[in-house]
Structure 1
């Protein structure tokens, strides 16, 4: 595809009276909006909103290439956009049907859509379903005029985060985008990413940590780069809990052992809520003096699950579950260890609770100013004495149980 949309301005492409303000290379100005036939455009396969869907397709079918068959390419990515958030797509489509496209997109001069992939999808559907005469209104960026790929990506981040707030992004797709931009391809430094997305240093730091954990988990289950597996397992919550647990541990062999044990428990748990499961392990085991023994008891289980998954590359959640299903004894052993440790800690907490409550009661009593007591009115002193009698009675009852 060697086309240049700007060559078709005044012919297939018409100039509108609209403009969109963009910041490129540090300069903010108004860019002309054009009315572009849909067939001249194609989706952005680097769209973070569908990163996991694209990883699944390339894993199963091979690379996507708009140059080989643009219609097939657009149809495939159309499906990904729709599946990524069907509710949001329907809402946007109904809005466009009633009022037209109110927010202009951004495309490159070769037809690649940088901003507005969902709006483009809605227009494609309205044209197909309603027979509407649809055009995509967008700014056309001329990348032959000094705009680099990094400038384009910087603009994407700004539009997605600073202006639109990608609340409808699947969190795993967002982690893939972060990992790719900062760790894998090093398009941006952490500081640059913070600047371009208007997120805090803590927010971006946590996203980086979680994205690394996601990649490490996929490598652990022998599914490197199969990001869709993390999406299908809804791993954002569990990864958040694992990150919080590891943040409290010094880096080293024990932290690595804890991480591998938690990864294993994501696979062996029979609980539907993996986030709660990991949180329970963290609160009742990892944060106690039992953590070393717990890790040691899990060592062989972790090793066997890991080796079982190495027998062949894992390409789906179903395949992963089937791979470890044969080791039902090991899985049950893992579950039993977790249950026993959690129950043991809960019993310990229950036994210690009376002491904790008594300590709190003593601290409260110790804060009472005796001088203030002596200066109370007779009515208050009478009420105070009644409460002291109740306290003494309760103390006597407790003493009788010792």
Structure 2
């Protein structure tokens, strides 16, 4: 952001900014040391536009054609405060109450121009308390990028503070995916290994997050909403994307992989099921991974084409567009629902029919565990009981055979 009269916090130390007796340990460029904490007037500070908590809200604002550059510093802070409140009001109220009772216990981190790198929620609480008549300052470490800190150094610190200090990261799941996608795939700030080391996660976990993030990006492209991450957030797609990722992990053929993916993306746009995650899981388990998948995919090809073309014809896609097209494509939606229901019912019926065979296979596997040599070594009483059980099994089999 390029606001007029950008502040230099270092020059305000001893004037409007005072040194406290507190410190905070930070790891920067691989070195951990204690940094002094200062008491900073709230009006000197500025929300971090790159804060992962507000990624999708900022994305929505800009997608609507609004220009943040035209806002004053005060208006910008008011706007971002609103985004942070909306991201998790319950958590914010809890933090605010705690700060009101005990003061700000954990110092934040700010850059020399006033940008809050860590502590945006605490800063929000303090802003609200100040409007309620309380005397408030933001306690934070002040870092000066001009002293050799690169943008990646700052981003690495931000990730470490958010994820690496064994405290919960309560970002919206979609915002978290967007942050992973931006940091690794889009901006290439980090490799998967580097991201994992800076967020206290395993490389395997980060790979899964990145794979899911890429699926989100591909879905938005599919519905002609490329880059509109807030649409994925409004549709609450984290769970459905997780299911799609698990289903696609079993697809080895690239062409089949893409065909299944398109069918699942289409199902997400057409579903009227209240639990979209359960709906996608059901399609995966009862159709894609069952014996009638090819019939389903053949029947669904035309559905996929109709839905894709309908979205591509839209000038601008939002969640309201998804709802509108869902109604406009009522006939297509009903046909898709009929195909899914029919194929799911087929699978369920097949499993019911196969249940006796599955049970006998289980019996055979159990009999394979009987050691024939041990039978000869059994005492008289045990042999008698064994013979009785063999006779019982024989009679059961004869009864089954009579029904064939």
TM-score (structure 2 length as normaliser): 0.95
Determine the structure 2 residue equivalent to 1:332: 334
Q: Which sections of structure 1, spanning at least 5 residues, go unmatched?
A: none
Determine the structure 2 residue equivalent to 1:119: 122
Q: Distance in 1 between matches of 2:205 and 2:270?
A: 30
Q: Does the Cα contact within 8 Å between 1:309 and 1:324 map onto a contact in 2?
A: no
The number of residue pairs the alignment matches comes to 400
SS of residue paired to 1:33: strand
Determine the structure 2 residue equivalent to 1:6: 10
Residues 313-332 of structure 1: pairs in structure 2 closer than 5 A: 313-332=315-334
Determine the structure 2 residue equivalent to 1:58: 62
Q: 1:92 to 1:371 in 2, by over 3 A?
A: same
Determine the structure 2 residue equivalent to 1:366: 368
Q: Decide which of 204, 219, 222 is 1:220's aligned counterpart.
A: 222
* 1:283 and 2:285 aligned: yes
Q: Distance in 2 between matches of 1:333 and 1:364?
A: 45
Determine the structure 2 residue equivalent to 1:39: 43
Q: Does the Cα contact within 8 Å between 1:150 and 1:187 map onto a contact in 2?
A: yes
SS of residue paired to 1:18: strand
Q: 1:200 to 1:327 in 2, by over 3 A?
A: same
Q: Does the Cα contact within 8 Å between 2:291 and 2:347 map onto a contact in 1?
A: no
* Stretch deviating more after TM superposition (186-195 or 41-50): 186-195
Q: Does the Cα contact within 8 Å between 2:38 and 2:140 map onto a contact in 1?
A: yes
SS of residue paired to 1:323: helix
Output one character per residue of 1:275-306: Cα deviation in whole Å (capped at 9) or x when no partner: 11111111121123432332221111111111
Output one character per residue of 1:136-182: Cα deviation in whole Å (capped at 9) or x when no partner: 00000001111011100000111111114444121100000011111
Q: Decide which of 187, 203, 206 is 1:204's aligned counterpart.
A: 206
* Stretch deviating more after TM superposition (294-303 or 5-14): 294-303
* 1:91 and 2:72 aligned: no
Q: Does the Cα contact within 8 Å between 2:311 and 2:317 map onto a contact in 1?
A: no
Q: Distance in 2 between matches of 1:215 and 1:243?
A: 13
**Superposed CA RMSD:** 1.6
Determine the structure 1 residue equivalent to 2:307: 305
Q: Does the Cα contact within 8 Å between 2:184 and 2:190 map onto a contact in 1?
A: yes
Q: Does the Cα contact within 8 Å between 2:96 and 2:126 map onto a contact in 1?
A: yes
* Stretch deviating more after TM superposition (143-152 or 361-370): 361-370
Q: Does the Cα contact within 8 Å between 1:308 and 1:323 map onto a contact in 2?
A: yes
